[in-house]
Structure 1
Amino acid sequence: MSPSSDALANPTQAISQLYIANKAQGPNTFPRTVTDHFKNIFASPDVLAQIPTLDLVHPPESFPNGSLVAFNCMVQDTSLSPELYLITLKNGDCGGWGITDELSSEDDVRYTDLRECTVFWGVSVPGLSSWCYGDSSQHSIHPVQTHKYPIPNAPHIGVQIKVYDENLARPLRTTDLISFIGILSSEPLHATLETSELRSVPTLHVLFYNPIPTTIVPRDYPEPSILQDVTTIRDELIAWLADEGLDGDRVAAEWILLCAIARVRSRHPPVLPLSLTVANFPAHAERPDAKPVLSSVLSLIFPMLTSTPLSLEILNKEPFCPESKEEDLHSGLLQLPRGTVFIMDEGAVTEGGIFNRGVTNIRAAQEMMKSQTLDYVFPYSSFHFETDVSFLILTEGKKSTFFQTDVTVSLQQMSSDDASSTFYKSADTIKLPTPEKLRQFRQLVGGAKVGNVAVGEATGKYIEEDFVQERSASTGKGSSLTSDALVRRMLIARLKALLSHQTEMSIKHWESAKALDQYTI
């Protein structure tokens, strides 16, 4: 059998044999040896793909104890205390990686053999679109530690993650998207080890890991397979989004796509995603908390999307920021991985008051839109963590009730008199493009999400002269374009170039951005 086959069949035995083969090097370097060994034997994508995936379709209880699995997740909590284990057992064999529970007895423990492993908590990727992993509707999911998942009442998997190689653990941060490969077991929750009641939770003993791109599926920019027809594909995508989610409004559809593909380009100076409000978006006549079909349409092309009805109950009761309670980090609605599209629908707001938590939540969301940072609240302090989330606000009024966004556009309802059946129709009634066209749509937005666009000298000079000229003309008419307008238009022009899979912004993109900017209110 090959090393990869041995590891798949009996990963615990594979580690034990590796320990025996490397005894001469001493135990201190063994965790790193494990990382390098298993990462090497699963280096080929084809071999790596043989490892079964722990997900909503294949939950923890579907695997035998000691199985080798891959868990694609978001790191939710990095603040858990390290755990002690024996690197060498009394009989001289390897310890750790779930091989023994020998530390349950303190008799005859050789303290020179004690080592620390880092403990994390990981959760299913929040808002992950079903096309990224498959249909889980037939499976009953029983999550543990539900307060550690940012989307209330959503099916997910939570796993205690143990990393034995300190070099492997050191770079990990909250909201990182990681594919952990390790040995699955069920063990007591580390946070409750000193309590009388020990709860067992799914536990993954990590052998190695691979970062997951923010597009979930790796994307190229420009994408060669669509480059020849990219203009047609882009126009078809805008038309499909408009027809299925926005009653035919292509201007609003283009704005939504541009803001959804935006990402943090720079922190200093700040070049951040544009937040967008779609005004005059009808609320459901009978069910204020109904999910707009726009969310379902966007989730068919974007891999991570979260949609939240901003009812007063959610604002006043659900935490938006992660908060540490009794040394346990509770998640919040805004603890989302980089690359997420976050829709907040104000149509669910009814009469009533907003209390302390509601005010705090609104402030946190506004700050995240403005600076792409989120506070993690601890008992005596709070810490800013960097984010990269695209915000889309849907509101029935002329502007957002709670937030100031970078852009506001007014929805132009084209034909329907029945808003509920048009904007809140069942996801099953969405007219899908062909599988090939849907694949092209996903390639288009996925590539745009990771692409880079340069501004040539000639284009830069044209933009500067054009803006100065337009600013002078507008001043004479009693109004004046601000520098913020220049920055916004430059961002729009870059996004238009990205959505066209062009590596350099052109004068045409600038002129198109100016035209689109005229629709803002």
Structure 2
Amino acid sequence: MSSFDDIVKIALKEHEDSARSDTATFLRDIKAQLEDPASIPCYSKTSPPLSLVSFNCLLQDTGYPLEVYLPGDMEATDIVDWAKLKERWIGWGVEIPGEQDWVKEGDLTSSLDGLSLNLRELPASVYDDNAYRPASTHKFLGVLSTSPMPSNEPENADIVPTIHVLAEVDQPPIAGPSKEDGDVREELVEYLATAFDPPDRLAAEYVLLLLLSSPTSRPSSLSPLGTLAINLMRESGATTSALHPVIASVSPRVIPLALTLPLLHTHRFSPASADSSSLEAGLLQLGEGTVLIVDEDGMGSGGQLNEKAIGNLRALSDCLTEQRVKYDYPYMDGLKMDCAVRVLVLSQGKTLLPVDVNLPVRENGAKTTTRPSLEPFRSYLARHSASTHAALLVIPEETGQLIQDDFVTRRKNGSSEPEETLKRRMKIARLLALSYPHATLTKEVWERAVRLDEEVAKRHTLP
């Protein structure tokens, strides 16, 4: 692994038209800036070359071959000591899709086309242990430079912004739930209810559970645990135009997806590589925790689907049920990678996508004109959706027995509830438990989960 000094010297040497002679001063300035990471500006298109920048990014393509380069103190000559050449890993990073302005640090008002990330070199012997994978998100600190895009024809390669990474910033640990979270939860549900016109508190409860969901475990040959996909069905007079802005005000990553026949036929949902040299992005290549709001209104009465459109719908269905996204590589059929996407479907009628809950939206709450403080809601969601909080989930033995006995009793009393009902209620109950600080699936939590599920059923039977 190269030293700090070596990486900075490489950035200086490889930068186009670089004519710096004060390398020692430049090194000293960079080191001083790194002592205060919070003061390092975010990358933008106006960032000056050879400046120290930070970049919150999603690694869109991690499949480039290792790149050979000369160490910082070596110059290219006709005679090269091949034993001194080193290798570095290169990835293509883009601004995190759907990341909200209130999350970003600094001014990133201009869109980013992408950055080539020249990371610390990794010896070939540990190349297979590389932890970077497509769609993972990172915050890098490094020296901004330029370099040719990796290409089979380097003489024709585009020159692109490049970060020579000096460090990766770890996300600070998230504090555990507080005793005040019970009150915050109720206020948050009331706020989420205002996303519907007229307000719908029941729908808000399910949106809250969606915002807390994440695949916490992936049992072999089974659906992942901890997920919940919901379909909000707009009934006559009900609108959801405020849903996107309300969710985006409290959830850090939100992507709207207006599903239409032209979109299905022309766009790529799954990332794909035509020749194994690069990976083209797909609409479902999203960072962990992204809320994907799928609006089916544009589908109208449907129509004929070609092979690409069918493949896109299948990819979206797999994202819902398996929490995996297919990656199309030559000679690698059926490769899927894990994801963590929270899918909410909006439609006029019942969606054809394999969601867990189909909920008709109706008036079920009082209107409010008071805009609450959003920071407590954001902090609550960050704490209660964290993997550390999900790991604390407890299902006491007596509760497990209660759930089993309840299901058996219902079946003995002539209930026609299928096993899918029990599975759905368990999903609801697990997330409901995580919405409280104790993270325990008690008898009271289970009974509330059953009531929530029964309220949805009633809406399907009442006019």
Letter in 1 for 2:101: S
- How far apart are residue 468 of structure 1 and its match? 2.1
Letter in 1 for 2:243: L
The more displaced of 263-272 and 111-120 is: 263-272
Match of 1:395 among 344, 347, 362: 347
Cα distance, 1:316–1:245 mapped onto 2, change above 3 Å: same
What is the TM-score with the length of structure 1 in the denominator?
A: 0.74
- How far apart are residue 325 of structure 1 and its match? 2.5
Letter in 2 for 1:257: L
1: CA distance between counterparts of 2:217 and 2:31?
Answer: 32
- How far apart are residue 282 of structure 1 and its match? 6.8
Letter in 1 for 2:395: V
Q: 2:272 maps to what in 1?
A: 323
2: CA distance between counterparts of 1:507 and 1:377?
Answer: 46
Q: Deviations over 1:55-97 (max 9, x none)?
A: xxxx1x3222211111111111111122110126xxxx2x5xx
- How far apart are residue 433 of structure 1 and its match? 2.8
Letter in 1 for 2:382: G
User: Given that residues 33 and 39 in structure 2 are in contact (C-alpha distance below 8 angstroms), is that contact kept between their aligned partners in structure 1?
Assistant: no
Cα distance, 1:293–1:377 mapped onto 2, change above 3 Å: same
2:50 equivalent to 1:69: no
Contiguous gaps of at least 5 residues in structure 2: 13-29
| Identical pairs, percent | 30
Q: Write the mapping of 1:47-58 to structure 2, written as runs, cut at 5 A.
A: 47-54=36-43
- How far apart are residue 115 of structure 1 and its match? 1.2
Q: 1:409 maps to what in 2?
A: 359
User: Given that residues 65 and 90 in structure 2 are in contact (C-alpha distance below 8 angstroms), is that contact kept between their aligned partners in structure 1?
Assistant: yes
Q: Write the mapping of 1:352-431 to structure 2, written as runs, cut at 5 A.
A: 352-382=303-333, 383-397=335-349, 399-400=350-351, 402-413=352-363
Q: 1:249 maps to what in 2?
A: 200
Q: Write the mapping of 1:263-274 to structure 2, written as runs, cut at 5 A.
A: 263-268=214-219, 270-274=224-228
2: CA distance between counterparts of 1:374 and 1:295?
Answer: 23
Q: 2:380 maps to what in 1?
A: 444
1: CA distance between counterparts of 2:32 and 2:80?
Answer: 33
Q: Deviations over 1:239-284 (max 9, x none)?
A: 1111233520111111111122111121115314121111135799
Cα distance, 1:76–1:283 mapped onto 2, change above 3 Å: farther
Letter in 1 for 2:50: G
Letter in 2 for 1:219: I
2:434 equivalent to 1:498: yes
- How far apart are residue 487 of structure 1 and its match? 2.4
Secondary structure in structure 2 of the residue aligned to 1:122: strand
2: CA distance between counterparts of 1:446 and 1:457?
Answer: 29
Letter in 2 for 1:73: C
2:229 equivalent to 1:275: yes
Letter in 1 for 2:299: V
Letter in 1 for 2:407: F
Q: 2:19 maps to what in 1?
A: none
Match of 2:405 among 445, 465, 483: 465
Q: 1:162 maps to what in 2?
A: 118
Cα distance, 1:245–1:472 mapped onto 2, change above 3 Å: same
Q: 1:28 maps to what in 2?
A: none
Letter in 2 for 1:361: N
Q: 2:98 maps to what in 1?
A: 127
Q: Deviations over 1:371-390 (max 9, x none)?
A: 11111001222311011111
Secondary structure in structure 2 of the residue aligned to 1:238: helix
2: CA distance between counterparts of 1:11 and 1:115?
Answer: 12
1: CA distance between counterparts of 2:364 and 2:444?
Answer: 28
Q: Write the mapping of 1:220-299 to structure 2, written as runs, cut at 5 A.
A: 220-222=175-177, 224=178, 227-228=179-180, 230-268=181-219, 270-280=224-234, 292-299=241-248
1: CA distance between counterparts of 2:451 and 2:396?
Answer: 21
2: CA distance between counterparts of 1:247 and 1:218?
Answer: 38
Cα distance, 1:200–1:492 mapped onto 2, change above 3 Å: same
Q: Deviations over 1:351-394 (max 9, x none)?
A: 54322211110011111211111110012223110111111110
2: CA distance between counterparts of 1:66 and 1:273?
Answer: 44
User: Given that residues 283 and 347 in structure 1 are in contact (C-alpha distance below 8 angstroms), is that contact kept between their aligned partners in structure 2?
Assistant: no
Q: 2:298 maps to what in 1?
A: 348
2: CA distance between counterparts of 1:53 and 1:197?
Answer: 30
User: Given that residues 226 and 431 in structure 2 are in contact (C-alpha distance below 8 angstroms), is that contact kept between their aligned partners in structure 1?
Assistant: no
Cα distance, 1:415–1:265 mapped onto 2, change above 3 Å: closer
Q: Write the mapping of 1:74-223 to structure 2, written as runs, cut at 5 A.
A: 74-87=58-71, 93=73, 102-103=75-76, 107-133=78-104, 139=109, 141=110, 155-166=111-122, 170-191=130-151, 194-212=153-171, 219-222=174-177
Cα distance, 1:51–1:384 mapped onto 2, change above 3 Å: same
Secondary structure in structure 2 of the residue aligned to 1:374: strand
User: Given that residues 75 and 123 in structure 1 are in contact (C-alpha distance below 8 angstroms), is that contact kept between their aligned partners in structure 2?
Assistant: yes
Cα distance, 1:39–1:220 mapped onto 2, change above 3 Å: farther
2: CA distance between counterparts of 1:387 and 1:393?
Answer: 18
The more displaced of 302-311 and 194-203 is: 194-203
User: Given that residues 147 and 159 in structure 2 are in contact (C-alpha distance below 8 angstroms), is that contact kept between their aligned partners in structure 1?
Assistant: yes
Q: Deviations over 1:118-150 (max 9, x none)?
A: 11001111110111016868x4x3xxxxxxxxx
What is the TM-score with the length of structure 2 in the denominator?
A: 0.83
- How far apart are residue 321 of structure 1 and its match? 0.1
Letter in 1 for 2:176: Y
Letter in 2 for 1:337: G
2: CA distance between counterparts of 1:77 and 1:39?
Answer: 30
Q: 2:23 maps to what in 1?
A: none
Secondary structure in structure 1 of the residue aligned to 2:292: strand
The more displaced of 272-281 and 309-318 is: 272-281
User: Given that residues 42 and 105 in structure 2 are in contact (C-alpha distance below 8 angstroms), is that contact kept between their aligned partners in structure 1?
Assistant: no
User: Given that residues 201 and 365 in structure 2 are in contact (C-alpha distance below 8 angstroms), is that contact kept between their aligned partners in structure 1?
Assistant: no
Q: Deviations over 1:489-508 (max 9, x none)?
A: 12211211211222322211
Secondary structure in structure 2 of the residue aligned to 1:342: strand
User: Given that residues 57 and 94 in structure 2 are in contact (C-alpha distance below 8 angstroms), is that contact kept between their aligned partners in structure 1?
Assistant: yes
1: CA distance between counterparts of 2:106 and 2:62?
Answer: 30
Contiguous gaps of at least 5 residues in structure 1: 1-6, 17-37, 96-101, 142-154, 286-290, 417-421, 423-429
Q: CA RMSD in A?
A: 3.2
Size of the alignment, in residue pairs?
423
